[in-house]
Structure 1
Amino acid sequence: MNRRHLLAGAAALPLVAIRPSEGRAQSGISDGVVKIGVLDDMSGVFADQQGMGDVVSARLAIEDFGGRVNGMPIELVHGDLQNRADVGMGIARRWYDQEKVDAIFGLGNSAVALAVQNLAREKQKIDVVVAAGTTDLTGKDCSPFGVHWTYDNYALARGTVGAVMQGGGQRWYFITSDYAFGHSLEANAAAVVRQLGGQVMGSTRAPLGETDYSSHLVRAAGSGANVVGIAAAGTDLINIVKQMGEFGLNRRGIQPAALLCLLTNIKAIGLDTAQGMVFTEAYYWDQNEQTRAYGLRFQRAHGRPPTMFQASMWGAVTHYLKAVQAAGTDAAPAVMAKMRETPINDFMTTNGTIRADGRVIRDMYLMRAKKPADARGEWDLLEVAQTIPGNEAFRPLNEGGCPLVR
């Protein structure tokens, strides 16, 4: 059995060895255990920024909660969605139906996240999307049991496109991952470009996991664009930026606009190539005393500081467990009511809220990759260029088309 199949098998990670039956009725906890699943890309193009790092943060959150809620043990399982909706749905259905998982976190692929959110609505189970970006999660496909936790493509586009256009990037060409995430990110970014008076010169779509972007870059160079909007993530983003440098597009005055970029991506690209790139994030490990404390703790456990997905997993799991404790049950309607009414406060979020459409409102940050000479260490790669208040960062509630919004 290979590593991918092992990961897809969702090995259980019990934090308490015994699952007592006594007190179940009094506690309101079904099956005598609160069971959490982390379903992410564990072996593909996004594994570096999600993967086992998300599992590490979930485990740390459970440990910090004491391993029990309302007297009942908390159990953690994880699985590899393999960036395939059928695989992700198969694991989620088994978890909900057979393994009695109460809530699924992560869902770091937009196609999988949309499918699982629809399943969770049907099953009246909770899903908390940490790493997928499509705005449909809080639009036409919103759910009374779904939370879009960390970011979305609207927030990424508003922050990054505005900054690039202020710097003179008025003519855009998009290279887009050909699935729900990429389509959503391109659509959001192109809308902002046009709203701000810029031009969209064209676009191409590439399959997830593409390695040779030469044909896409030739078209971009010939389009008259001075910005390549990269509606891709993970290894795909890294390859596009590196190949832009190899093809000399930067020297011709064509700059990359990374619409979803994370700390590990900048590390892989290298500051020689990435310096000056701006992008939008929800967390940077060296931002302040609180973010540094968690970043260093996570690094001791995982070998490097967390990405915004990995860091925000801690807050997502903690907020859920607080809601279970306050509700006195793991029943989804009561837990969701507590999650919505309780402010979100942790090392990366101050007074965050969950809207009626499931969107978490939190401040976002425009980040800039440092010059190599300014980096003081291996992971000292970024600086905060601007804070974007949460009420400005995300799509207005009345514009998403969520059926739950009256």
Structure 2
Amino acid sequence: MTARPTRTLAAIALLIGSSIIAPAAAEDAQPVRIGVLSDMSGMYRDIMRPGSVLAAKMAVEDFGGKVLGRPIEVVSGDHQAKPDVGAAIVRNWFDNGGADAIVDIAQSAVALAVQELARTRNKIVIHGVTGSPAITQQACAATAFSWSLNAYAISAPLPKPLIERGLDSFFFLSADYSFGKAMEDAAAGAIKKAGGKVLGSVRFPQNNPDFGSFLLQAQSSKAKVIWLISAAEDTTTALKQAKEFGIVEGGQHIVVPLTYITNVHALGIANVQGLTFATPFYWDRNDETRAWSQRFFKQHQAMPTMDQAAVYSGTLHYLKAVAAAGSLDGLKVAEQIRQLPVNDMYVHDGAVRADGWLMHPFYMASIKAPSDVKKPWDYYTIEKVIPAAEAAQPLSESQCPLVAQSR
């Protein structure tokens, strides 16, 4: 008879123990979530959209699908190029377990809003194509990283090789927002340093349907180079109308530092041949980029943009850093992101600086003549490799507090 209470107490103890252990086990099994915050419906949709989500999922697949013994999930949100919308999505993700890290973003105002949220919560954010230099300058954060480009990297290295060819006078057509100003300032400084001249500039509003008056000003300046600072649909519209005005046929050279392969594909290379720009990625650069891009193409039916390639690389490196840190703690993971070399199809032996900038080479490229195209999407000629040290704004000029602390 005495054995019954003993067995009963043991059973109760087992139940109590199970009720404590089960939630802990369930918590340990919670997925590691990566949030792809992107423009799914606005002016950046063709350079980001589902392709960015696909790129993140490819990184998860290549990593093996699990980290720290937990499954990895990719979730996505549409910021609509609106800072308040983007911030609301990310705040919900961070505060309610929707995401442990954020990748992509692109639009500068949204990126800055998201970066501030990441700072206050010690969460990781890895920007793809985000133009504002403030990301790694005044607004830098210990857990924030810039993986693709900024205004300096695609503007400052280009004038010197153009001026060496005799293309020594410039006219700016610049988008009237902070990214446009930052790119113009970076290019103008490099033009002056290389011995060139800026003959004038004009600014246009975002989502501009008619570039006629702006193109006429650029044409009448007689500048040898018309430097178009725009993005996404504005680039497509401006280049279509430049073709109608016969600007290239008239002897002027068009430079569009921020050029996407999707813009070129939409316009047709006959309309943009000879266009010059800088890029951190081209799908047909080597065997490794080709193999990855063909995988991407089979699912997306378009070759990857530089933004989508950066999302893949940033996501993969984040997962490697989580594994190395043995934790999802943002500061611990950020330390590993900076310590580990970045090695993948996007960059070899890349290094992440104190300010969060990924050191990687850029490529000065131009659009081929139609007669030189040998296969679909074979649009770029890589004319020059721009070393990582030339593409990156010098740390000696940095306004990032983290840089001062690291000295």
Q: 1:278 aligns with which of 259, 276, 279?
A: 276
CA distance 1:255–1:283, change in 2 (3 Å) = same
The Cα offsets for residues 106-126 of structure 1, whole Å up to 9 and x where unpaired, read as: 011111111211221112111
Q: 1:388 aligns with which of 382, 386, 400?
A: 386
SS at match of 1:300: helix
The Cα offsets for residues 109-149 of structure 1, whole Å up to 9 and x where unpaired, read as: 11111121122111211111111121111111111111001
Name the counterpart of 2:5.
none
Matched, 1:53 2:51: yes
Q: Distance in 2 between matches of 1:206 and 1:354?
A: 35
Q: Distance in 2 between matches of 1:88 and 1:207?
A: 22
Residue 219 of structure 1: CA displacement?
A: 1.9
One-letter amino acid matched to 1:92: V
Name the counterpart of 1:115.
113
SS at match of 1:285: coil
Residue 156 of structure 1: CA displacement?
A: 0.5
One-letter amino acid matched to 1:139: Q
Name the counterpart of 1:77.
75
One-letter amino acid matched to 1:321: L
SS at match of 1:292: helix
Name the counterpart of 1:325.
323
The Cα offsets for residues 373-393 of structure 1, whole Å up to 9 and x where unpaired, read as: 010122111121111111121
Between structure 1 and structure 2, the one with the greater Rg is: 2
Residue 280 of structure 1: CA displacement?
A: 0.8
Residue 21 of structure 1: CA displacement?
A: 5.4
Deviates more, 1:159-168 or 1:238-247: 159-168
One-letter amino acid matched to 1:309: D
Name the counterpart of 1:211.
209
Size of the aligned set, in residue pairs, is 383
Give the TM-score normalised by structure 2. 0.90
Q: Distance in 1 between matches of 2:145 and 2:281?
A: 18
Unmatched tracts of structure 2, length 5 or more:
1-21
Q: 2:311 aligns with which of 303, 310, 313?
A: 313
Q: Percent identity?
A: 38
Q: CA RMSD in A?
A: 1.7
Residue 242 of structure 1: CA displacement?
A: 1.7
Q: Distance in 2 between matches of 1:211 and 1:329?
A: 49
What aligned pairs does 1:6-405 form with structure 2 within 5 A after superposition? 22-23=24-25, 32-405=30-403
One-letter amino acid matched to 2:99: V
Q: Distance in 2 between matches of 1:63 and 1:405?
A: 34
One-letter amino acid matched to 1:305: M
Does structure 2 retain, via aligned residues, the 8 Å contact 1:282–1:365?
yes
Residue 180 of structure 1: CA displacement?
A: 2.4
One-letter amino acid matched to 2:127: V
Name the counterpart of 2:9.
none
Q: Distance in 2 between matches of 1:300 and 1:224?
A: 45
Deviates more, 1:248-257 or 1:327-336: 248-257
Give the TM-score normalised by structure 1. 0.90
Does structure 2 retain, via aligned residues, the 8 Å contact 1:126–1:332?
yes
The Cα offsets for residues 172-193 of structure 1, whole Å up to 9 and x where unpaired, read as: 2212222222221122112111
SS at match of 2:134: helix
Residue 171 of structure 1: CA displacement?
A: 2.0
